[in-house]
Amino acid sequence: MLPIDLPVLGAFVIASGAIVMSPGPDTILIIRYTLSSGQRVGFATVFGVQLGLLVHTALAVAGVSVIIASSPTLFRIVAVAGAAYLGWLGLQGFRGGGGALSINGGGSAVGSAKACRDAILTNILNPKVIVLFLALFPNFVDTSRGNTTGQLITLAVTLVVINIFWQAPLAWAAERFRRWLGRPSVQLAVNRGTGLVLLAFATLMLYEHLL
């Protein structure tokens, strides 16, 4: 039996999936290293991203879960901060180019170890991922069900799976995805589509925790 209700887990998949699909440092690093050094290095970069997520998970399980469980007021503050961040991300999809990718694939080749290490550090230091664990996760954790650690681990594993399903194809066919994502019509559709999803979840979170 899952420690999280399936409807809640489904909502998390939609929210985190919209965030994962929005271009960020991890995506750029995967595509750049794949284009410059081949698929093997690209997959090493994807692997490094997932290791970074595991580090965030360990930090969350070690401290954040205790804070969430012991302080309802802090839970509300962090949850509202997550909603605000989601809203900000959603609005970016309607501003100008919406964060279009700008990637130069002509860089020097790198090894798998360096690619993996760079991906780990990029993910650990990525503010989007930090806020994702500190502010988004609490919105999907039900302290009344108990087993907060199990809920956090379930969410983290789900996030890793979503990342792999999105990022592995990028490493497998980086050049094709680069051209596809570079089309203005596709950029507009992806940016506005994910923007609407993020804004909707931000509104729901604010309604639940403030009203």
Q: Residue 44 pLDDT > 90, yes or no?
A: yes
pLDDT in tens, 178-200: 566 656 777 677 667 767 887 88
Q: Residues 117-123: what's their mean pLDDT?
A: 87
User: What is the value of pTM for the model shown?
Assistant: 0.65
What's residue 148's pLDDT?
A: 78
What's residue 170's pLDDT?
A: 83
Annotate the chain with three-state secondary structure. CCCCCHHHHHHHHHHHHHHHHCCCHHHHHHHHHHHHHCHHHHHHHHHHHHHHHHHHHHHHHHHHHHHHHHCHHHHHHHHHHHHHHHHHHHHHCCCCCCCCCCCCCCCCCCCHHHHHHHHHHHHHCCHHHHHHHHHHHHHHCCHHHCCHHHHHHHHHHHHHHHHHHHHHHHHHCHHHHHHHHCCHHHHHHHHHHHHHHHHHHHHHHHHHHHC
**More confident call, 92 vs 101:** 92
Q: Residue 47 pLDDT > 60, yes or no?
A: yes
Which has the minimum average pLDDT: 20-24, 149-153, 197-201? 20-24
